[in-house]
Amino acid sequence: MSSHTFADSPTTKRPEGSAERIARIGALKLGRQPIVMVTAYDVAAARAAEAAGVDIVLVGDSGANVVLGYGTTREVSLDEMLMLTRAVRRGLRETLLVGDLPFGTYEHSDEAAVATARRFVDEAGCDAVKLEGAGEMAQRVRAVVGAGIPVMGHVGLLPQAARDASELRAKGRTADDAVRIIEDAKALEAAGCFSVVIEAVPAEVTALLAAHVGAPTIGIGAGAAADGQVLVLHDLLGITPGRSAKFVKRYSDIGAQMLAGVRAFADEVRSRAYPAPEHTYAIAAEELEALKEKLGGT
């Protein structure tokens, strides 16, 4: 497990209680208690996640798809991610908040990675950041951790590497690819990640990976052997339209309820059933008379 203590750097001050929230994730793993992570992109979802007692809220760049309507996560800007993250921050008090560094804002240099990570802490109140990939990205992790900001890694399927939806395919299905993913996770742990997301790999590969990596692993489409699980909120609530990935389980059908609710409103406006008297403000009879007089007795 990571030995970093994540003391605040002189320039970047994480929210109060951050160090304890990070330490708690390691303690959950040690206690063999599954870690629960969901994504959120607004204050209402953040409040729901906290009230439900989830352990980690991730403002994922999946927000590019599910709330901003882009085709890929590569299109969301840093400013857009910061706006979503600030909204989520306003809805959380106790829960660990992780911000996802968007494509193009951290890969090319350590300085860029640290500067972007700092904006998530300083401007959006994050406890930690997440970034995708290993290889050269392990060095970016080292730089960001060195600046006092905890980092969650991400291996397996890397959505930021996909230029369109057809490239979002499971990884680690050959021995060579699986070894690479396990090596990636080990490198991220060695670079100081406090936790690693494993996306879309066979369950057996996750189990082998978990045996080689001490940092808590959070799976998405990676089977039951990970230390925790994450799903995109809009997928688990059934808000995302159309076919979902194989690993998505829908716990609600909010999309259908949204459609029914808006349709009922439209029907009642058109039939003049809404607004009814109980939805309308009153004015005292004498004030109404006075108003009519002021308007010329109409």
Point out the residues that are catalytic.
Answer: 199
Applying CB under 6 A, the span of 17-25, 57-65, 90-98, 121-129 interacting with ligand KIV comes to 57-65
Residue partners of 190: CB distance under 8 A and separation at least 6: 138
CA distances to 123, 141, 268 from 84, in Å: 11, 23, 33
Read off the tokens for 285.
């009879």
Does residue 62 bind ligand KIV (CB under 6 A)? yes
Of 50, 55, 100, 189, the one binding ligand KIV by CB under 6 A: 100
Is 62 or 95 the residue whose CB approaches ligand KIV more closely? 62
Judged by beta carbon, residue 129 or residue 197, the one nearer ligand KIV is 197
Query: For residue 127, which of 152, 91, 162 has the smallest C-alpha distance?
Result: 152
**Of 58-66, 115-123, 275-283, 290-298, which part binds ligand KIV (CB under 6 A)?**
58-66
Helices (H), the chain: 18-30, 43-51, 63-66, 78-90, 110-122, 136-146, 175-191, 203-212, 233-236, 254-270, 285-294
In the complex, the smallest distance separating the C-beta of residue 210 from ligand KIV, rounded to whole angstroms, is 17
Site residue total, ligand KIV (CB under 6 A): 10
Contact yes or no for 141/151 (Cβ under 8 A):
yes
> Which segment (53-61, 82-90, 119-127, 268-276) binds ligand KIV by CB under 6 A?
53-61
**Residues 204-223, interacting with ligand KIV (CB under 6 A):** 220
